[in-house]
Structure 1
Amino acid sequence: MTGDALDTPSAELNLNHADFAPRDIKTAIIKAGGAPIILPFPDDVTLSAELAEAAVTTFDGLLLPGGPDVDPTLYGEEPGRNIGSVTYPKDRFEQALIKATVAAGKPIFAICRGLQILNVTLGGTLYQDLASQDPDATIRHVQAAPGQYPTHHVTVKAGSQLAKLVGEHAYVNSRHHEAIKKVAPGLQIIATAPDGVIEAVADTRDQQILAVQWHPENLWQQDAAQLRPFTLLVKRAAAVRTAQAFVAQPKVS
């Protein structure tokens, strides 16, 4: 999974710009049977593609976690007055990783910001701020309740992989003010909130990419179904590893 970085020195370790990743996601991956690897982004964006190509050989599946807002210039817009903090080097590295992972045929699971940068990378756009840009977004998507509590429902596409994991009606948490506006080519909508905001997408074959707008890493401890997307990622990653090992076997004459 991709990492983040502190903008200020860490008091505990006296490190400038220490790299980190969400502990709840790391724990969920381990619980699902996987081994998490944290991929820090380079400060020099010119190295993003090179490092992504190297990194994709070290993992079997990519997890894109939540985090700061996505730089709107990446989808052809200037930042509006309500855009939050952005981390341009992180955006560029994740874009390079997404492209390399898709090309390698490896699975992707994306959460919140991860869904957003995935959609942008594949050619979609975002609402920079739902409350001011989407008049139909009538429910609260930036919850006041603690993050481990669900606050609104989503309707999941019947027959989709996500419906098999969490059901056709799920109760989820919500901590975002950006959201998908135009869905990228190659992706399909598989879940929506009651007000129509897009809550999950998958690739059109529903076999490689799964992305959700909520935070299942904060819910699975009380709702076992929310661990299943992590389990699916690990399962898909294991299948890729097995297939690649089979192809790599030397032929016996």
Structure 2
Amino acid sequence: MSWRTPLGDRVLEGIEAAFYLSAMQSAVEYLQEMKEIEADLDVRTGDRIFDSATFDQKIVLLKSSLAALLDPAIPSPRHTNVVEASVYFPFAFLRGEIAIEIESDEMEEFDEDEQYRYYYREMVWSAFEEYILPSWQASTEEYGEDEDERDFEPHSNNFELWDDAIDGLLERFFWDRDWMMSTGTPQVLDGIEQSLAEIADLEDYFTTRLPKVTSEQADLAFAAIKNWQLNPSF
């Protein structure tokens, strides 16, 4: 089985698989930390249903999506607002962490030997350099050099360019951001007109259902994400 994306039905491989797994593992670690200190989660996907889910529900949803994206033996779940929000969650997490890194840099809060100073920027850069940078360079050759893009590098403090880089990676996963409609237009959760659903290809897309999850299932899902190893062929 494989995941349906704008690039065709596929599972993640190579640098993209390593990048997404690292992002997911970091995101669930953050979820666990917020649970332990009983803090409100400040990472939002824009989907009202996923964002309102419990920690246990989020972890199980994230593990299900990760498995479908990385393991060709796992059937791809039906694309819904909740499922796509779970795929997007690591990207939302990265945006926030890069913003924090840049703010800390600008306030000179890092020691010179701080090993995590550029941790999330370097994580995104690995995938950006492989999959997005060539198209930026091609655009530069065709339309002229952009001064900001010229100076973009793994330790850049230009958040707008990091935001663009993440958007470029997102386009390899999603055609659009339909799951965010549940926040901007919450009435879609009550049902969408049949004619509009057909035109927008959103039939059976919106759901308010979340999985029933036990703490044991959540613990197993968390351990599976943290211990996930990529196939060596990747």
TM-score, normalization: structure 2?
Answer: 0.26
Decide which structure has greater helix share. 2
Identify which of structures 1 and 2 has the higher relative contact order when contacts are C-alpha pairs closer than 8 Å and 6+ apart: 2
Decide which structure has greater strand share. 1
